[in-house]
């Protein structure tokens, strides 16, 4: 009697994030996954530069969740906006968002989106950074106010949602991984998941 072939072992996939944007982006890959808050302190260390800060936080988020789910493949990600070497975080409120957009008006901002994929049980760990260069138009006070009242992007680094009306604030976007600006670089994510042994399609 021939026994049926055993189904291949598939590790669970966990997104270590509280971001609705990352959850929506990962869902595009049509893979089953769960979401768990990483509960990581995101305070910069001293004069930590934006790129290294994003990398450290993405790795810390992935590691924190992987410790609780050692058999899972865990994704951690973080984004830090970089204005001339100064990290800009989420504004949190209207006044801070207004100040951020005024500062970025007519200037180029680098959005560093870091990605970590880890599995404690298998020993897999890969980390990468997807920088996105964004050039803002010269913005007047009235359009900044109108935009913020309409979209209230207070949970977005840099105060502008490129996937929404914020795209009208920009002159150009340069990136090799288009969804990185929204919060999760899906080209890099797919590549890392395949390397970790998870079949995408």
pLDDT in tens, 11-35: 999 999 999 999 999 999 999 999 9
Please, are residues 112 and 97 in contact by the beta-carbon 8 Å criterion?
no
Structure tokens at 40: 């990581």
Domain boundaries, the chain: 13-195
Residues 6+ apart with CB under 8 A from 181: 111, 113, 132, 134, 162, 173, 175
Show which residues are catalytic: 78
Residues 61, 42: Cα–Cα separation, whole Å: 10
If you classify domain 13-195 with CATH, what class do you get? alpha beta
> What number of other Cβ atoms are within 10 A of residue 86's Cβ?
11
Given a contact cutoff of 8 angstroms between Cβ atoms, the answer to whether 134 and 111 are in contact is: yes
**pTM for the full model?**
0.89
Per-residue pLDDT tens digits for 68-80: 999 999 999 999 9
């Amino acid at each position: 009697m021939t026994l049926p072939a055993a189904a291949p072992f598939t590790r669970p996939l966990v997104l270590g994030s509280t971001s609705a944007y990352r959850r929506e982006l990962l869902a595009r890959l049509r893979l089953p996954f769960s979401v768990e808050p990483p509960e990581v302190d995101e305070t910069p260390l001293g004069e930590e530069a934006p790129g290294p800060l994003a990398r450290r936080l993405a790795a810390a988020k992935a590691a924190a969740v992987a410790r609780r789910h050692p058999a899972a493949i865990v994704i951690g990600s973080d984004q830090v906006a970089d204005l001339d070497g100064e990290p800009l975080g989420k504004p949190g409120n209207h006044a801070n968002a207004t100040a951020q957009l005024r500062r970025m008006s007519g200037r180029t901002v680098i959005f560093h989106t870091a990605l970590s994929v880890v599995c404690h049980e298998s020993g897999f760990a890969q980390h990468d950074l997807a920088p996105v260069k964004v050039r803002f138009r010269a913005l007047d006070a009235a359009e900044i106010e109108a935009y913020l009242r309409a979209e209230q992007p207070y949970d977005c680094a840099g105060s502008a949602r490129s996937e929404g009306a914020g795209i009208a604030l920009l002159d150009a976007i340069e990136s090799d991984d288009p969804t990185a600006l929204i919060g999760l670089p899906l080209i890099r994510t797919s590549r890392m998941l395949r390397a970790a042994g998870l079949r995408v399609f």
